[in-house]
Amino acid sequence: MRVQFGAISECEPAGDPFNMAVKEFSAYFAGKLERFSVKLDLRGTAFQKRVWALLDTIPYGETRSYGELARRLGDVHLARAVGTANGANPVPIILPCHRVIGSNGQLTGYSGGLEHKQTLLRMETDYTGKILFNHGEDSPQ
């Protein structure tokens, strides 16, 4: 299969939010940015937006459980709904749904796959010096 794209000269210049996002992603992956500031125009239900706002409060290099986020929303029975809202997150990494784990400390659900979730968490803990994983194990403590 072969894919061709138009010449670069045919592309419109990227807007400022795009350039800011590119710079912020570069800084994030270099361990120099812990929280994104690029402006977002999120489309979702009122509940999804509440969950996504909570994601933005989880500190870099730390995790929270779905149940903990549900409690912060006022109903411990919303843990599965929190997981569903996480799955609908249109901007993973910017709104760090990879920082949400199961109540038993296990990595669960991530739109980019559990391997990528683990990689992001390891990267963040490497830069912060925080310990989320047992030596030689694939799950957080």
Instruction: Return the domain boundaries, the chain.
Output: 39-128
CA separation, residue 13 to residues 9, 18, 38, 108, 129 (Å): 9, 10, 18, 38, 39
**pLDDT tier, 6 (very low <50, low <70, confident <90, very high otherwise):** very low
Q: Which residues, listed in sequence order, are joined to residue 101 by a DSSP beta bridge?
A: 65
Please provide the CATH number assigned to the domain covering 39-128.
1.10.10.10
* 126 pLDDT above the threshold of 50: yes
* 123 pLDDT above the threshold of 70: yes
Per-residue pLDDT of 66-101, as tens digits, reads 999 999 999 999 999 999 999 999 999 999 999 999
Per-residue pLDDT of 8-63, as tens digits, reads 444 444 568 889 999 999 999 999 999 999 988 999 999 999 999 999 999 999 99
pLDDT for res 14: 53
Q: Mind telling me the catalytic residues?
A: 97
Closest C-alpha to 96, from 29, 35, 25? 35
pLDDT for res 12: 47
* 7 pLDDT above the threshold of 80: no
Closest C-alpha to 88, from 119, 47, 121? 47
Task: Say what the pTM is.
Answer: 0.79
